[in-house]
Every structure is written in C-alpha cells, then in structure tokens.
Amino acid sequence: MTVIRDIMCKRVVAFRPDATLAEAVGLLTEYHVGGAPVVSTEGTIVGVISELALIDVVFDAAVRNAPISEYMTRDVQVVSPEDPVSRAAQLFALYSFRRLPVVEEGKLVGIVTRRDLMNYALRTNELLAEPLIDLIPELGQLTS
C-alpha cells in the first residue's frame, strides 16, 4: 500500500504568521504555488494562506503590509506521512483545497497536492477505490 510519504514533496514553501501579504504574494509567485502552510516558530501548522484569500486584497495598497495571520484559513486539514494515499484522495474529494500539509509529531514535514496524487495515479497500476465510498458506503450501492 502506498502512503503519503511516497508521493509528498518534502520541500515546502511556508510562512510565519507575521509575514506580510506582499511577502506572501511575492513568494507564491516566485515558486509558482497557489498556497502555503503558515507555521509557528516551533513548526506547527497554524493556518494556510492561498491565492484565493489574497486575490481580494492584493490590489488594496493599504493592506499589503498586513500580516497574513489576518487572512489565512485557520481550519486546516492535515495528513500523516503514514496515511494511505487514499486518505488524501478522500480529503481532496470532500473539500475544495488543492494541497494538504503533511504533519508528523505535530510538525510540518511535507506537502501533498492534487497534482501529486494525479501524477501518482498516472505512473502506477495501483487502483484506488472511489474516494468517498469508504466514508459513505451507500455511494457504492449507487454505482453498482
């Protein structure tokens, strides 16, 4: 069984809560990523900042120096490196986000994206069940 560790990226663009909106836009643009975890000085996840959160405010010069902690999402879903790949598929199917921070012993150790999951699916013969069937077994009855 393939686990998150096998497909995650260990190099993660991440921010501290006091980084400014302008800094966030600069790094997201430089690294061509649509969002990033926000971590405490201890490395624990405190939020996620995304292009979606930034697009509404980036044109307002008055808030460019505001901390991202004022605009980040605080309710963050995470996965463990030892979770099966199907767990990431479930979370991507349930929620509209594009990336999942990977946390081990409370610390950020990587990130897995929808693209990572799709690339994995194309390079392997491993068949994943419909992501939501394990969570909602009645869906299996609808497809059979």
Q: At what angle do helices 85-94 and 114-123 cross, to 10 degrees?
A: 130
CB atoms within 10 A of CB 10: 10
| C-beta separation of 30 from 23 below 8 A | no
Phi-psi region of 99 (alpha: psi -120 to 50; beta: other; left: phi over 0): beta
* CATH top class, domain 4-137: alpha beta
The string of pLDDT tens digits covering residues 23-80 is 999 999 999 999 999 999 999 999 999 998 898 888 888 899 999 999 999 999 999 9
pTM: 0.84
What rounded mean pLDDT belongs to the chain? Answer: 88
Q: How far apart are CA 20 and CA 28, in angstroms?
A: 12
Rounded to whole angstroms, the Cα distance separating 81 from 109 reads 8
Per-residue pLDDT averaged across 69-95, rounded? 93
Rounded to an integer, the average pLDDT of 115-144 is 67
Tokens standing for residue 60 = 């307002």
Looking at residue 61, its pLDDT comes to: 87
Q: How confident is the model at residue 136 (pLDDT cuts 50, 70, 90)?
A: low
Q: Do 28 and 55 meet the contact criterion of CB atoms below 8 Å apart?
A: no
Q: At a CB cut-off of 8 Å and minimum separation 6, what does 129 contact? A: 86
